[in-house]
Chain A
Amino acid sequence: KAGVTQTPRYLIKTRGQQVTLSCSPISGHRSVSWYQQTPGQGLQFLFEYFSETQRNKGNFPGRFSGRQFSNSRSEMNVSTLELGDSALYLCASSLRTAGDDTQYFGPGTRLTVL
């Protein structure tokens, strides 16, 4: 079974631009969560999508948004990029059932903002 895939793996953008990251969950998984990882703050929860609806949101500004498609694939968008947005962006998928909500992470997209 294929794992979580994220594209692209690396991105370089400049301040003020916007960026879209993509995540394909494990087959059959309907929940996708996004996290930001930086050396200073560690791994921080951005938001979770389940059945095309945002179910939970972390403490990030509105410049960070996402969506989920009917095939459970998810995209994350960051508008008006700032230098501090440079980070590894990870997505995780899960079945999100009563018996199993284990999250499996993808390899991440490393975003550098210049």
Chain B
Amino acid sequence: QKEVEQDPGPLSVPEGAIVSLNCTYSNSAFQYFMWYRQYSRKGPELLMYTYSSGNKEDGRFTAQVDKSSKYISLFIRDSQPSDSATYLCAVAGGGNKLTFGTGTQLKVEL
């Protein structure tokens, strides 16, 4: 069983839709949670970083962490075609070793 599970998609939504991306993790030692966005042929770009249960909002993006269920989510409101990318969740237990999900490929269509 992988330490971080993520639905690979692909996920296709119309412009303006609310997108929900999810990951589960197995090790309760993970205390830091991140979402990265990766465009084709580019390196991952950090979107959200949190270390506590609850919600964290940044513009159209909301990260949600439920440590009791070992479940993390990213919500994108008013999705745009420019949001089309692969979204990667990542977890860490301290130190700089990130464990990534496999990534969800998102396409936002006009």
Q: Which residues of A contact B (CB under 8 A)?
A: 4, 31, 33, 35, 42-45, 48, 50, 55-56, 58, 90, 92, 94, 96, 101-108
Contacts and interface: CB of A to CB of B under 8 A. Distances in A.
Contact of A108 (B43, B98, B99, B102): B43
Contact of B45 (A31, A33, A35, A105): A105
Place the interface of chain B in its size category: 20 to 34
For A42, A44, A55, A101, the residue with the greatest tally of chain B CB atoms inside 10 Å of its CB is A42
Interface string B32-44: 1000100001111
| The 4 A-B residue pairs with the shortest CB-CB distance in the complex, in nearest-first order | A105-B43, A43-B100, A42-B102, A48-B96
B96 A105 contact: no
B43 A94 contact: no
Contacts of B99: 45
B contact patch SS: loop
B86 to A, nearest CB: 10
Contacts of A96: 96
Interface of B: 32, 36, 41-46, 49, 88, 90, 95-103
Contact of B97 (A33, A42, A105): A33
Contacts of B41: 107
17 contacts: A33-B96, A42-B100, A42-B101, A42-B102, A43-B88, A43-B90, A43-B100, A43-B103, A48-B96, A48-B97, A56-B97, A58-B97, A101-B32, A104-B46, A105-B36, A106-B43, A107-B43
A56 B95 contact: yes
A35 B96 CA distance: 11
Contacts of A55: 95-96
For B90, B95, B102, B103, the residue with the greatest tally of chain A CB atoms inside 10 Å of its CB is B95
Contacts of A33: 96-98
